[in-house]
């Protein structure tokens, strides 16, 4: 069926989970993923790719998804795991953790992007799925709001770095702060700008 112009997945294989990640590009913080199984009896209006929604709308949908979804779970890979594995493998690990964290095993998993983890689940990758499939959209919203809140908390700890505004991405302000104040434990040392900053310290 159609839900808010997004396709809501149905299958004879059982419950369908949508999975998405946030935080592959930033220089700091964990990569965060979410898995969501929606309840067709409780449709959620306004689902879309989290990046296309206002912060206020994302916050509202975050609470609604958690209240109405049949099941949801947050997964992550830490900065240390990103540096050890590389960002792609860490992201796939975080996706696996999100689905493993659901209270029920889904019959099918739809993953945003062009590849799925090597896992036991029947699954399919959908490019730009967060704008096409309601379950993936819901996962993108949960992951983004969760990670954004963590970076706001990091901003309170290190206000001179400006994490609340750039969320760890390599903006000019962020790079200037790293040059001036140094590399934090929360920075990803395997990423080029952090490697260079460490060489210059």
Q: pLDDT class for 200, splitting at 50, 70, 90?
A: confident
What is the per-residue pLDDT across 57-116, written as a single tens digit (0 to 9) for each? 999 999 999 999 999 999 999 999 999 999 999 999 999 999 999 999 999 999 999 999
**pTM exceeds 0.95:** no
- Asked whether the beta carbons of 144 and 50 are under 8 A apart, the reply is yes
Stretch (H or E) spanning 16: strand 16-22
- Asked whether the beta carbons of 30 and 147 are under 8 A apart, the reply is yes
Identify whether 181 is part of a domain: no
Identify whether 198 is part of a domain: no
Question: What CATH number has the domain bearing residue 129?
Answer: 3.30.420.10
Alpha carbons 108 and 116: distance in angstroms, whole number: 12
Output the average pLDDT for the chain: 93
Identify whether 71 is part of a domain: yes
Among 45-49, 65-69, 186-190, whose mean pLDDT is lowest? Answer: 45-49
pLDDT in the model for residue 13: 61
pLDDT in the model for residue 94: 98
State the burial class of residue 51 (Cβ atoms within 10 Å of its Cβ: 0-12, 13-18, 19+): exposed
Range of the domain at 113: 2-156
What is the per-residue pLDDT across 135-169, written as a single tens digit (0 to 9) for each? 999 999 999 999 999 999 999 999 999 999 999 99
Identify whether 186 is part of a domain: no
Identify whether 93 is part of a domain: yes
Is 5 a residue whose pLDDT tops 70? no
Q: Of the candidates 163, 194, 192, 190, which has an alpha carbon nearest to the alpha carbon of residue 179?
A: 194
Number of domains in the chain: 1
pLDDT in the model for residue 51: 87
Sign of the Cα torsion 60, 61, 65, 68 reads positive
Identify whether 173 is part of a domain: no
Identify whether 190 is part of a domain: no
Identify whether 165 is part of a domain: no
3-state secondary structure of 162: coil
- Report CA dihedral (83, 88, 93, 94) to the nearest 10 degrees: 90
């Amino acid at each position: 069926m159609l839900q808010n112009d997004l396709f809501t997945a149905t299958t004879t294989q059982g419950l369908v989970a949508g999975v998405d990640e946030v935080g592959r590009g930033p220089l700091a913080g964990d990569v965060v993923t979410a898995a969501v199984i929606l309840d067709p009896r409780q449709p959620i209006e306004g689902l879309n790719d989290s990046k296309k929604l206002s912060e206020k709308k994302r916050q509202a949908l975050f609470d609604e998804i958690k209240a109405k979804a049949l099941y949801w779970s947050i997964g992550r890979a830490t900065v240390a795991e990103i540096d050890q594995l590389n960002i792609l493998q860490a992201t796939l690990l975080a996706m696996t953790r999100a689905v493993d964290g659901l209270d029920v095993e889904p019959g099918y998993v739809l993953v945003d992007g062009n590849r799925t983890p090597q896992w036991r689940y029947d699954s399919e990758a959908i490019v730009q799925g967060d704008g096409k499939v309601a379950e993936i959209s819901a996962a993108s919203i949960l992951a983004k709001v969760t990670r954004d809140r963590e970076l706001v908390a990091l901003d309170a700890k290190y206000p001179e770095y400006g994490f609340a505004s750039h969320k760890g991405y390599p903006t000019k302000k962020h790079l200037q702060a790293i040059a001036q104040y140094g590399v934090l434990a929360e920075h990803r040392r395997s990423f080029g700008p952090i490697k260079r900053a460490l060489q210059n310290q």
